[in-house]
């Protein structure tokens, strides 16, 4: 499969997550390239409900590599909570499966305090 980009033009909620999930079966790498944890999508796979805010949904497939790109605004606390929820559901989020760009923007506690 060549490179495929899924872009929404309706300010969210147009079903991009479901399209990405359908395309993931043919992909080697699934990338979240921009946005933050305020956005998200929900998938039901094997009767289990998964809610994603930062981690690409490709993490549900053991043979996929997932990347959080430099355009993503990452709240480390939210990222760790998402990893924990996935682990509780039996999804492996191990090094080598999930990569975080060293240039991704971080939301620090002082950002929240100032907001």
53: which 2 tokens? Answer: 């805010």
CATH number assigned to the domain comprising residue 83: 3.40.440.10
pLDDT in tens, 1-16: 678 777 777 776 777 7
The reported pTM is 0.86
* Residue 5 domain flag: no
Residue 65 belongs to domain spanning: 16-114
Q: Does residue 1 fall inside a structural domain?
A: no
Could you read off the pLDDT of 71-95 as tens digits, one per residue?
A: 999 999 999 999 999 999 999 998 8
Residue numbers annotated as active site: 13, 41
Question: With bands split at pLDDT 50, 70 and 90, how would you rate the model's confidence at 51?
Answer: very high
């Amino acid at each position: 499969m060549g490179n495929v980009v899924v872009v929404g033009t309706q300010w969210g909620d147009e079903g991009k997550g479901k399209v990405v999930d359908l395309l993931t079966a043919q992909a080697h790498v699934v990338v979240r390239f921009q946005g933050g944890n305020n956005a998200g999508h929900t998938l039901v796979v094997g009767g289990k409900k998964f809610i994603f805010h930062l981690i690409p949904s490709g993490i549900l497939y053991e043979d996929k590599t997932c990347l959080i790109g430099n355009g993503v605004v990452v709240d480390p606390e939210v990222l760790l909570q998402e990893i924990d929820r996935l682990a509780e559901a039996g999804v492996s989020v191990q090094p080598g499966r999930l990569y975080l760009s060293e240039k991704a923007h971080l939301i620090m506690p002082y950002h929240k305090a100032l907001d």
